[in-house]
Amino acid sequence: MFRKILIANRGEIAVRVERACREMGIRTVAVYSEVDRHALHVRCADEAHLIGPPPATESYLVIDKIIGVAKQSGAEAIHPGYGFLAENPLFAERCEKEGIKLIGPSAHSMRTMGSKTLARKTVQAAGVPVVPGTVEPIATEEEVLRISKKIGFPVMLKATAGGGGKGLRLVKTEGDLHSSLRMAKSEAKSAFSDDSVYIEKYIENPRHVEIQILGDRHGNYVHLCERECSIQRRHQKVIEESPSVIITPGIRAAMGKVAIEAARAARYEGAGTCEFLVDQDRNFFFLEMNTRLQVEHPVTEMVTGVDIVKEQIRIAAGERLSLRQEEVKQTGHAIECRVYAEDPDNNFMPCPGLITSLRTPGGPGVRDDSGVFEGFEIPIYYDPIISKLVVWGKDREEAVARMKRALNEYVVTGVKTTIPFHIRVMNNRHFLEGNFDTNFIDRVFFPEERERELPHFEVAVIAAAVQLYLGERKRAIAARPVGTGEPVSMWKYSGRPGMPKIL
Amino acid sequence: MNYIATIGEREIKVTVEEVGVARYVVTGDGKGHLVDAHQVQDSVWSILYGTNSFEVDVQRRGDEYEVLIDGDCYKFTLMNEQLKALSRAGGKAAAGKALVTSPMPGKVVKLLVAEGEEVKSDQGVIVVEAMKMENELKSAVAGKVKEIFVKEGEVVESGAKLLLVE
């Protein structure tokens, strides 16, 4: 087993990894940028090294600096967390070359799964269902039309080199094909200098369900069941849960089996996740594999009792998986809400800044994976995630009620957070019924929210009026003439036309 | 003390009368209520309204309030009755002139206009980035860009003056 691990990350995920290391008796090495000297991941580590200026491109993303600290500190392994260098094959290669163990898959596995078309080819060959369509780029419009007719409209045209929504076109009918193809190609050309496109069937109102897998270098694999991740805002997951209400034991076993096949095909080692789209008839299609620890891994930990980070570390150290498939049990129900420093009542505007006060929730079944504390100033340079609130309940109903209760206990001041947004989702009828897909938040939830009547306007105005009254009184006392002897009633001042300006 | 709350189109007169330590009678819409109010954590108040207990986060920007209760956000304006009367008498002196300020700490990524340029109301004038998100800020009024206070690449605090449109 390793004696010392470097954590090449910051925020809540760095703290999460440090917690696992501490419990395993492994020393931790933190790296930090100039704005992160006070950060929680530095405070929780055994050692800490400054690696440069605040922008990630000059600190957390600089491979040479991370490797330099690993060598200097004598760390035998590096945990990359998620984001930053976590899925960068160049980093994985460099670690391999330097004889430092990267806690994650090989550069080969990352490359295979990182390319959309190569991943599609690889898993399809292993018998994994993918969204119907082509694997190779398509040359002519006749060819595009022929294939589109075969798989059936609507179809998606996607740039082979694609990413970030560029070169992506939904084609609803045959009539739209000509102009859509032209636009997709020209967008792809300008964005990626490569105008090749391929076709996929468009899955309407899909659910996003993913399977967590673990694999060791001895060829053993297990899956840790599914996570339901359909609650997304602008294609970003915001709430995740396990189990998914639409997944039956039969579908779960089938999805688990193909996820393992996909991992095996990429000779995958460590923790990874296969993402699937599930259509309205509960057919599932492989979307992509994430070759890292996922943000939402705690929901799986809560229902299976498996500490995924510790498993990652053991696997990286060459140990065999500590459990067999038949030992994996999914118990109860877990939900995670991602708490971001964003203002849900002003178009989710980012809100970095000083956390002036903080009360974290507690009580039965509550877990708060946080990267902040009272008095911490959230920097402007990184992701807005400050914490992940996770709850466990004996069933979905209890888990939702518990999440609502925990969110109500969670008080953050100084910066706005998405906690109020999560409370509203927990109260939404469709969410309670489990009736949603990946378009739910933008197409159903927000329009419903705009129509909803708020129950406590009276209390809100009363609280504001009392606060305003006390502020005026304080200013009136402060503005009182000095040395007039007798205390003067504030009413006298506040009643005058020349009363202190309060605006 | 008398205040006017404006909720959408509706105006409500609110009276606050202190009747003991942290105890007030608040009258709104003609009905009086006994309220026990304690500021417990920064902007968060514990309000006993009758015997019902509420946790209320009161955020204020000038006369504009955003109050959070049970995850719901209540937006309204609240003004001292006299000041409201004064501001009405004084008319809108500030009309036609608007300072664009940064609503959050961040970095100026791009200036979309130059000094002297004519802008329309609601036109994007500057892009400020925070936490990997770019936010386009708009001019509240139509007019000419009188002055630009920042350069591209500059890191600004929340509330920093960015540019003036007149």
The residue that leads in pLDDT, A404 or B50, is A404
AA identity, residue A366: V
Cis peptide before A89 (omega within 30 of 0): no
Chain B residues in contact with A349 by the CB 8 A cut-off are 103-104, 135
What the block records as the tokens of A47 is 């050692």
Average pLDDT, stretch B9-29? 92
Residue of A nearest to B158 (CA): A353
Chain B residues in contact with A427 by the CB 8 A cut-off are 71
pLDDT at B94: 45
pLDDT at A334: 98
pLDDT at B28: 86
Digit-coded pLDDT (tens) for B67-113: 999 999 999 999 999 888 777 765 544 445 688 888 888 999 999 99
DSSP symbols for A210-233: EEEEEE-TTS-EEEEEEEEEEEEE
What the block records as the tokens of A433 is 């019924």
Residue of B nearest to A382 (CA): B131
pLDDT at A140: 85
Candidates A48, A13, A4, A44; CA nearest to A370 is A13
Contact between B67 and A464 under an 8 Å Cβ cutoff? The reply is: yes
A80: number of CA atoms within 13 Å, CB side?
31
pLDDT at A139: 77
Strand ranges of the sheet holding B143-148, from the earlier edge strand across to the other edge: B98-101, B161-165, B143-148, B118-119
Q: How far is Cα A174 from Cα A158, in angstroms, rounded to an integer?
A: 17
Torsion of CA A80, A82, A84, A85, to 10 degrees: 40
pLDDT at B82: 85
- A464, B78: Cβ pair inside 8 Å? yes
pLDDT at A484: 53
Digit-coded pLDDT (tens) for A136-155: 788 788 888 899 988 889 99
Q: How far is Cα B165 from Cα A145, in angstroms, rounded to an integer?
A: 53
Which of A353, A420, A497 is nearest residue B68 as measured by Cβ atoms? A420
Digit-coded pLDDT (tens) for A304-344: 999 999 999 999 999 999 999 999 999 999 999 999 999 99
Which of B12, B62, B104 is nearest residue A351 as measured by Cβ atoms? B104
Residues 199-228 of A with CB under 8 A from B: none
pLDDT at A209: 98
Q: How far is Cα A421 from Cα A346, in angstroms, rounded to an integer?
A: 11
The fold adopted by the segment(s) A4-103 is: Rossmann fold (3.40.50)
- B66, A345: Cβ pair inside 8 Å? yes
Domains in chain B, CATH or no CATH each? 2-90 (3.30.700.30), 98-165 (2.40.50.100)
Q: Quick check: B121 pLDDT over 50?
A: yes
The residue that leads in pLDDT, A249 or B30, is A249
What percent of chain B is predicted at pLDDT more than 70?
Answer: 94
| Interface test mutation site (partner A, options B1, B3, B29, B135, max chain A beta carbons within 10 A) | B1
Which of B37, B75, B107 is nearest residue A463 as measured by Cβ atoms? B37
Digit-coded pLDDT (tens) for A85-105: 999 999 999 999 999 999 999
Grade residue A497 by pLDDT with cuts at 50, 70 and 90. Answer: very low
pLDDT at A500: 46
Candidates A257, A336, A255; CA nearest to A302 is A336
Q: Which CATH superfamily groups domain A339-452?
A: ATP-grasp fold, B domain (3.30.470.20)
Q: Quick check: A375 pLDDT over 60?
A: yes
The residue that leads in pLDDT, A472 or B84, is A472
- Are the folds of A204-331 and A339-452 the same? yes
- A467, B45: Cβ pair inside 8 Å? yes
What percent of chain A is predicted at pLDDT more than 90?
Answer: 79
pLDDT at B104: 84
Q: Quick check: A496 pLDDT over 50?
A: no
Average pLDDT, stretch B21-44? 92
- B42, A357: Cβ pair inside 8 Å? yes
Chain A residues in contact with B40 by the CB 8 A cut-off are none
Instruction: Tell me, yes or no, if A475 comes closer than 8 A to chain B by beta carbon.
Output: no
pLDDT at A115: 83
Predicted model pTM: 0.87
Grade residue B64 by pLDDT with cuts at 50, 70 and 90. Answer: very high
What percent of chain B is predicted at pLDDT more than 90?
Answer: 60
What percent of chain A is predicted at pLDDT more than 70?
Answer: 95
Q: Which CATH superfamily groups domain A204-331?
A: ATP-grasp fold, B domain (3.30.470.20)
Chain A residues in contact with B130 by the CB 8 A cut-off are 350, 352, 380
pLDDT at A483: 57
Cis peptide before B103 (omega within 30 of 0): no
How many angstroms separate the first and last alpha carbons of chain A? 63
Digit-coded pLDDT (tens) for A27-41: 999 999 999 999 999
Instruction: Tell me, yes or no, if A346 comes closer than 8 A to chain B by beta carbon.
Output: yes
The residue extents of the domains of chain A are 4-103, 132-201, 204-331, 339-452, 457-494
Predicted complex ipTM exceeds 0.90: no
pLDDT at A164: 60
Residues forming beta bridges with residue A377, ordered by sequence position: A354
Instruction: Tell me, yes or no, if A458 comes closer than 8 A to chain B by beta carbon.
Output: yes
Grade residue A499 by pLDDT with cuts at 50, 70 and 90. Answer: very low
Distances (CA, A) of B166 to B114, B115, B144, B145, B149: 13, 11, 5, 6, 14
Cβ-in-10-Å burial (0-12, 13-18, 19+) of A256 comes to: buried
Q: Quick check: B159 pLDDT over 90?
A: no
The CATH class of the A132-201 domain is: alpha beta
Three-state secondary-structure class, residue A177: helix
Average pLDDT, stretch A70-91? 97
Considering A3-17, A165-179, B89-103, the range whose residues carry the highest mean pLDDT is A3-17
Q: Quick check: A391 pLDDT over 70?
A: yes
Q: Quick check: A466 pLDDT over 90?
A: yes
pLDDT at A154: 92
A466: number of CA atoms within 13 Å, CB side?
32
pLDDT at B122: 83
DSSP symbols for A70-87: HHHHT-SEEE--SSTTTT
Other CB atoms closer than 10 Å to residue A413's CB: what's the count?
19
